[in-house]
Structure 1
Amino acid sequence: MGLSTLKNKKLILAICACLLAITAHSQETELDVLSYELTIEPNIQNQSIEGSLLIKFEVADSINEISLDASTLEIYKVSGASVIYHKKVDSKLLVDLTPQEQTLHEIAIHYHGNPERGLLFNADKNQAHTVFFTDHWMVSNNAPNDRATFSINILLPKGMQSIASGELVGIEEKGEKELHKWHQSYETPSYTYGFVIGSFTETTEPIGEVNLNYYSSELDENELKEMFIETSAILEFFEQKSGIEYVQDSYSQILIGDNYQEMSGLSVLADSYPTFVFRDSSEIHLISHELAHQWWGNMITCKDFGHFWLNEAFAVYMSSAFSEHRFGKEKYQSDIAIYKSIYDDLVERGLDRPLVFEEWRSNRDNRNVVYYKGAYVLHILREELGDEAFWKGIQYYSKSYFGKSVTTDDFKLAMEEATNSDLDAFFETWIY
């Protein structure tokens, strides 16, 4: 590999790590949200939103106040049979509940906002898309261990397209506008919810019972097919390694803006990304990375962000594992050399630290720990166990915790059980 190619690869691999800035507020919670039902009207030119949200949740009967994440959203009204009153304190919406024996509650929230992050508007292209920070466009519980179903109705001018988490269940005319109705029937954390709106060229590739959808405002249908030609093979590879079929009937990839972000059932990738792929068709790490999150991240989710490496290191490593499968051992070894060089740099600068964080703080070095040291550690674990045992363990872990929240101890115990190994020394050396 030439020096210029190595630099380009480092740039591509670093993009996803540089764009995600998760703060430490999202930890475990006693609140268990069961479902979100959102109706939202984005105004691209004004960069604003109007939202009406119905939340069903459970809390212990001894709890008379709940706290929801609402960022800078302006709350108009909160109503429900058990609601006494509400108040906004900084980024939190506090709702007092009447003392009662029931644990199941339902509240309605009406709000307005001009999101500063999380929902990005492009007035020139008449587009908008979400990126991770759900509480900037919808009141929610940010805790990654709180999983819920999600319905979103997006009110748009006629002729605009929408892509959102879940499946499109219908489009209803509303005068000069249309209400696009999406529903996600399986539970995921709120940070995985999202949507994209705009006008795009679209093409679909059916793979078995799954429709792979590709969108762009810059590429034509043939270019889209060329851009995402490996997607079907990537999906099948992850199904094989996890032992779990992809969770819904469609997966969409949208070229838009400057970000790379997975969501439930879709991913956004930067408009500029095709430049790299068309120059070198093996440079598909971000396609495979975001698709890997449909298993490791969205459906097998760190219980709190102290165990964030279980999301991101797995996505990085599984991307490289696919490259090995598709392009050969040399490609895989090239990836591992890059991850090791990032890890060695952390060590040299005295910034190496355990993969498990007592309190997660997002910065470039910490992200390099969880993304690239984490991926390198998975490579070392594979060498330690051997291929057959390693992949047996990965499949056992994935099947055991699909649709659940996990800790590093859960991963360790699953690998030990599947491989009949004692991994105490390995985890103490490399992970804790």
Structure 2
Amino acid sequence: MRKSSIVILSSLFLASCSLLNKNKIEEVNLDEVIVTPAKKLDYQPSETRINDLLHTKLDVKFDWTKAHLHGIAHLTFKPYFLPTDSLTLDAKGFEVKEVVLITPEGSEVPLKYEYKDKLHLNINLDKTYTRNDTYQISINYIAKPNELEDGGSAAITSDKGLYFINPNGEETNKPKQIWTQGETEASSCWFPTIDAPNEKMTQEIYMTVDTQYVTLSNGILMFQTDNGDGTRTDYWKQKLPHAPYLAMMAVGDFAIVEDSWKSIGVNYYVEPKFEPYAKQIFPHTPEMLTFFSERLGVEYPWEKYDQIVVRDYVSGAMENTTGVIFGEFAQGDSRYLIDNSAEDVVSHELFHHWFGDLVTCESWSNLPLNESFATYGEYLWREYKNGKTWADYHNAQDLKSYLRESKRKQVDMIRFYYDQKEDMFDSHSYAKGGRILHMLRTILGEEVFFEGLRVYLEDNKFQAVEIHQLRLAMEKVSGQDLNWFFNQWFLSSGHPVLKIDYAYDKDLKLQFVTVEQNQNLKNTPLYRLPVAIDIYTESGVKRHNIVVTEKRQIFEFKTESAPTLVNFDAQKYLLCEKEDNKGSIKEWIKLYEVGTLYDDKKEALTALIDTKDTLAIQTIMKATNDEFWGIRLLAIDCMENATKLKMGATRSRLIEMAKNDENSSVRAKAIEWLIEEFEQTNEVKSVYSSGLNDSSYVVVGSSLYGLYESDKERGLAAAKQLEAIDNIDIMSTISLIYSTESDEAHQTFYESAMTKVSGFDRYAILSGYAKYIKSQSLNSKEKSIPTFKNSAIIENAWWMRIEGTNALLEMRRTILTDMEKTAKKIDNTVDESVKTDLKNQHKQMQQVLNKIDDALTEVKAKESNSQILEIINKSMAKN
């Protein structure tokens, strides 16, 4: 599964927005964040195997109005090893109608069962079965996902398993859809199963739907039957086994764009209006299938490969076997896709079909065996398709993500102690894990690493594994004992915190490099770190390979002259925090000039930020012409002193970049700096005006905000003209602008925009609307109540429902305060006509307050999240 590319920080969630520096979520000062000690947690074992689920056959129909699934499940089992006369299934919130045993002759034998907790179906079998026996049961049931208590996490925002989107067609700009999300253990919300990652099953699904709808499931569509009553039954079959959490269904009005790879189908399911862009939405999929198959030495093993975009998805994307689901962030026209390519996500989910689907973690404790590999799959694809520099840029973002998380959370990669299984879906399992695999590749070398992956996949295909299987495969190929590596990186927490100092003794002609490991050794290991050091002198460069093993070590290297540069970790592969105390600015400049890696240039530019040295500023300015867009982007962020000391030259360069850089992110970043750092001259304003016609919506959004900041009247006029564009980057910028304005006419924009966006994108509009409405009239507040109420009720993500709920509660607080003030004025007013007016105002406020309370009562009646209910109850109790 791909974590949403949109990150939740504090209570804010900004979706696909290009907001400027001053409006971005405030960055956390990492030096001030304290990692709190973890509470004592329970051991989380793999699921105990008592019965082995061999095959699942489902016959399902849907009740859109009630959001129910009517199902018949035929499940085939055998005892795992020991004899058993009972069976326990995960079945969440069902109405169970009948449980029967299907005899070999096809007759049905009713079975006794217990289902008191509505979570586990405990069945008494008709006799004791041994591991040499198989048996089949049939369960007739109704799944009621919307009646389950809502849970979820930042990565997977809901765990209802089955989702009915716009089921009654009330939202005019949203299609009706049904889709599933099984990870972690939510497949058991729509069919009875053993909902554990160490279970494997083959499957068949008969889906009966209205004939107007398209269906998708795992495996191959074997046939379709027109039932003659306006419905059709589609029969999907997957012959190869996979884990229950990978089972999927989707129903809706989708265009199917067909593609192929070798002898298998590769299809793209999108909303009809995006049919012309389907291959851009899922870019390079056949090429990825070829690349990964060849790189791993294991051909793509499944019967087909389909990808689908759905509305209101509760995650980023999900690697359901042969039927990958994407959130709507992936879907758009060519102009939208300039800034919002899902290429990384496509590669992530496809790589899962080897790491996660073919070979599956046996428990959520071992989740990095799924997610670390999928994250590294993104690196491998970028390396192949765009070159090592782009891939290393990707790696650097992963390191940044992990280090940010590490300031508040440091846990083992493979962790058997956690509070909720969803806690495993963090930057450790994804970002840190990808970097660890990159280190393993660097240490072992290309040939050994990829042969080790091939052996791992071949030896464990269609099986569930733990981390030691990966180690053993790598040891089998390399001939090395790799416990040291796996113990310190996968089975321990934290990371190295290194301090590197340098000294040259001209008499001894020795270069000294001192390395200290300063991580907290109470919780973090003392690392063994194989590292390359490149020493540059007038005669050239020489590489020295060392191994850091101690708390403090001094390494010495013979060199006839003082080095012009000593480059520690010359391969730039270490996952660490690093204080690199080079002797002079010239060494950092030298590193930028001779460095061939992204991180060489990144480290050099970052080290030059705070200096006012002329050569340093020249180097930063030179970097704005680097051939790689990521370096150009970084160079802009390093310009602070350049803007102060060489304002004219810097402004001219930024204007040039804003107008002509080939990369939209660089153009947008240049515009942001022009807004933040420079006088808003006519020349700068002209950049914003021309930027309104840019091919990139992100650049248009930045330009619009710049125009508003520099010339409010022109900015508002431009915002009005852009209101009709159905793009989240534009709408979110307009929302940001209008949120500080008092004009009641802007409410029309918010009401309209809320009907155009869904899923994660709604947050930017919803939060802007909530801020805007605070300063509006009572009539405007009254008009907004249905919108906020609907958001508080219909959104799948709890944090979206909270935003709608909080908007209602904030209006309620504001009106109560105004009522209190008005009541005092009434008491203190002698003039009867004035008093009458005040009483009428008070009455109107009471009427609107009653409507808000009615809305909150409805929210409470339909809300299952205990935290949201607590917020409502506490807030209303205060007044």
TM-score, normalised via structure 2 length: 0.45
Structure 1 gaps of 5+ residues are 1-8, 19-23
Deviation at 1:57, TM superposition (A): 0.1
Q: 1:352 aligns with which of 381, 406, 410?
A: 410
Q: Which residue of 2 aligns with 1:254?
A: 308
Taking structure 1 as reference, are residues 61 and 381 closer, same or farther at Cα in structure 2, changes over 3 Å only? Answer: closer
Greater shift, 212-221 or 196-205, is seen at 212-221
SS in 2 for 1:146: coil
Q: Secondary structure at the match of 1:12?
A: coil
Amino acid of the structure 2 residue aligned with 1:130: T
Question: In the alignment, is the contact (CA less than 8 A) between 1:277 and 1:283 conserved in 2?
Answer: no
- Hey, what does 1:160 align to over in structure 2? 213
Question: How far did residue 83 of structure 1 move?
Answer: 5.8
Query: Within the alignment, does 1:36 sit opposite 2:56 as a pair?
Result: yes
Aligned amino acid, residue 234 of structure 1: M
CA gap of 1:146–1:294, structure 2 versus 1, over 3 A, is same
SS in 2 for 1:290: helix
Deviation by residue 1:98-125 (Cα, 9 ceiling, x = unmatched): 3335532111100012213111111231
Query: Within 2, Cα distance between the matches of 1:239 and 1:217?
Result: 30
Distance in 2 of aligned mates of 1:358 and 1:220: 44
CA separation of 1:300 and 1:365: change in aligned 2, threshold 3 A: closer
Corresponding residue of 1:127: 177
Task: Give the alignment partner of residue 73 of structure 2, picking from 53, 59, 63.
Answer: 53
Q: Is the 8 A contact 1:297 1:310 kept in 2?
A: yes
Whether the 8 Å CA contact 1:28–1:303 is kept in 2: the answer is no
Aligned to 1:310: 369
| Contact 2:367 2:424 (8 Å CA) reproduced | no
Does structure 2 conserve the Cα–Cα contact (< 8 Å) formed by 1:61 and 1:100? Answer: no
Q: Tell me by how many angstroms 1:388 deviates.
A: 2.2
Amino acid in structure 1 at the alignment position of 2:98: K
* More divergent stretch after superposition (167-176 vs 240-249): 240-249
| Identity, % of aligned positions | 25
CA distance in structure 1 between the partners assigned to 2:234 and 2:52 by the alignment: 27
CA distance in 2, matches of 1:308, 1:358: 11
**Residue of structure 1 equivalent to 2:261:** 207
8 A Cα contact 1:300 1:404, kept in partner:
yes
Q: Residues 219 and 386 of structure 1: is their aligned pair in 2 closer, same or farther, counting only changes over 3 Å?
A: farther
Which residue of structure 2 lines up, in the alignment, with residue 175 of structure 1? 228
Q: Which has the higher strand share?
A: 1
Tell me how far 1:274 sits from its aligned partner: 3.2
Partner of 2:607: none
* Counterpart selection for 1:266 from 323, 326, 329: 323
Q: How has the CA–CA distance of structure 1 residues 25 and 120 changed in structure 2, closer, same or farther, with 3 Å as cutoff?
A: farther
Is residue 282–residue 327 contact of structure 1 (8 Å, CA) maintained in 2? Answer: no
Give the structure with the higher percent helix.
2
* 1:115 equivalent in alignment to 2:173: no
Distance in 2 separating the partners of 1:366 and 1:171: 38
Residue of structure 2 equivalent to 1:12: 5
What are the residue-to-residue correspondences of 1:291-310 with 2, within 5 Å?
A: 291-310=350-369
Question: Quick one: distance in 2 between partners of 1:213 and 1:10?
Answer: 23
How many correspondences in the alignment? Answer: 417
For the structure 1 residues 317 and 416, does the alpha-carbon distance in structure 2 shift closer, same or farther, using more than 3 Å as the test? same
State the shift of 1:11 in Å. 6.6
Q: Is the 8 A contact 1:300 1:402 kept in 2?
A: yes
Aligned-partner residue type, residue 278 of structure 1: L
Q: Is the 8 A contact 2:281 2:330 kept in 1?
A: no
Q: Secondary structure at the match of 1:99?
A: strand
String of CA shifts for 1:188-214, please: whole Å, max 9, x gaps.
111111111111111111221121101
1:399 to partner: Cα distance: 1.7
CA distance in 2, matches of 1:83, 1:312: 42
Q: Which has the higher contact order (CA 8 A, sep 6+)?
A: 1
Pick from 330, 343, 348 the counterpart of residue 284 of structure 1: 343
Q: Measure, in 1, the Cα distance between the counterparts of 2:208 and 2:45.
A: 31
Structure 2: gaps (5+ residues): 14-43, 104-108, 147-159, 170-174, 492-879
* 1:115 aligned partner, one-letter code: P
Query: TM-score, normalising length from structure 1?
Result: 0.90
- 8 Å contact 1:28–1:144 — kept in the other structure? no
Q: Which amino acid aligns with 2:114?
A: K
Correspondence 1:220 to 2:274: yes
Distance in 2 between residues matched to 1:178 and 1:363, nearest whole Å: 37
Q: Is the 8 A contact 2:253 2:272 kept in 1?
A: no
TM-superposed CA distance for 1:370, in Å, is 1.1
Q: C-alpha distance in 2, partners of 1:248/1:302?
A: 18
Question: In structure 2, which of residues 127, 136, 144 is the aligned counterpart of residue 106 of structure 1?
Answer: 136
